[in-house]
Amino acid sequence: MKRSSPEENEEAASSTEKRQRSPSFQQPSDVLHLNVGGTLTAVLRRTLTSIEGSMLASRFSGRWDDSLEKDRDGNFFIDQPIALFQPMIDYLRAKACETMLAPPVTSPEFDDVRKLKDFVRMVEYFGMTAGIYPTELEMCRGEISAAKISGHPNLGVISSEYATFTLETRGHKRPIRSFSVILGDVEKIEIGLVRANHFVKKLRKGDHRGVGMERYTFCLDCSQEGLLYEGSFTKLDGLSTEKGTLIRCENKGERWLVNGQVVASSIALEDSFHLPPDLQQYSLIPAFSGKGSWQVCEVELDPMISDHKTSISHL
């Protein structure tokens, strides 16, 4: 049997080491040792990468392990206070073992306003906002058994009956500024905004008027091809309910696009309509009335915390 030379053994060891450092070799079960602002801790790789698309997930995917900052002992170094980073990790750990038999996991809370702002800033930096403060769809009109709601990261609705849903954030007061909707097979669809604290939740059987027809509501009515504000209709061109249509609402209803084309805007030089003045001064919540299926994506939060409570009243 031929014995390997020292050079061949060294080459084989080097090859093995490179394989172990390669992204394909990294496992979600890897225990990563971190130095967070001077405090040592250990976290599973799958915990750090649990929010898909985030900068944190990309950083610890395994592709960049060799180039990430480390302390002199080889621990990955994160230049953040442990008092801010640890609550985020604890939340991700709790979400990983969440069950229907226990109370739902809630976003981290802070009594100190400054600390909360610092935490939100860090979450934004790591691209974790959608995961730490997820947006949620909730039925506000209609029969619960007739609809299936999907949560983050694939927000969407499949409803066999006409119903109304709202889109809200949880755990903080930053309102939703912009969002997009991808239409599936829809029979009827209204995409709009409702005024916080004035749109009362009514889960019960029977007909309801929908977003744009009820008081304190405003919408893009794709089925009738126009804008609706409390029942008042304005005709628009370029609307569609075809499967795959992308509808975008920007800056809390000031600009509407269909498949990338502006169909309504209150921005200067594009004065095709005016956002109702009694809605401009209030916090608005995205809402949808329809029958069929659609997905919600590209949700953007306002960088400023609203002074208004952004929750739907309940009966």
Residue among 264, 282, 283, 284 at smallest CA distance from 273? 264
315 has a pLDDT exceeding 80: no
Radius of gyration over alpha carbons of the chain, in Å? Answer: 24
Residue 275: partners with Cβ closer than 8 Å, 6 or more residues away: 218, 252, 253, 254, 266
Tokens describing residue 86: 């640890």
State the Cα–Cα distance between residues 288 and 279, nearest whole angstrom: 17
State the Cα–Cα distance between residues 231 and 306, nearest whole angstrom: 28
pLDDT of residue 190: 95
pLDDT of residue 28: 79
pLDDT of residue 252: 87
Mean local confidence (pLDDT), 7-31: 59
Mean pLDDT of the chain: 83
CA distances from 7 to 4, 10, 16, 39 (A): 8, 5, 14, 41
Per residue in 239-292, pLDDT (tens digit) is 888 999 999 999 888 889 999 998 888 754 444 555 565 555 567 899 999 999
17 has a pLDDT exceeding 50: no
Mean local confidence (pLDDT), 202-222: 81
Indicate the angle between helix axes 82-96 and 113-125, nearest 10 degrees.
70
pLDDT of residue 274: 56
145 has a pLDDT exceeding 80: yes
State the Cα–Cα distance between residues 120 and 108, nearest whole angstrom: 10
200 has a pLDDT exceeding 80: no
Per residue in 40-70, pLDDT (tens digit) is 999 999 999 999 889 999 999 999 999 999 9
Q: What is the pTM of this model?
A: 0.70
pLDDT of residue 4: 57
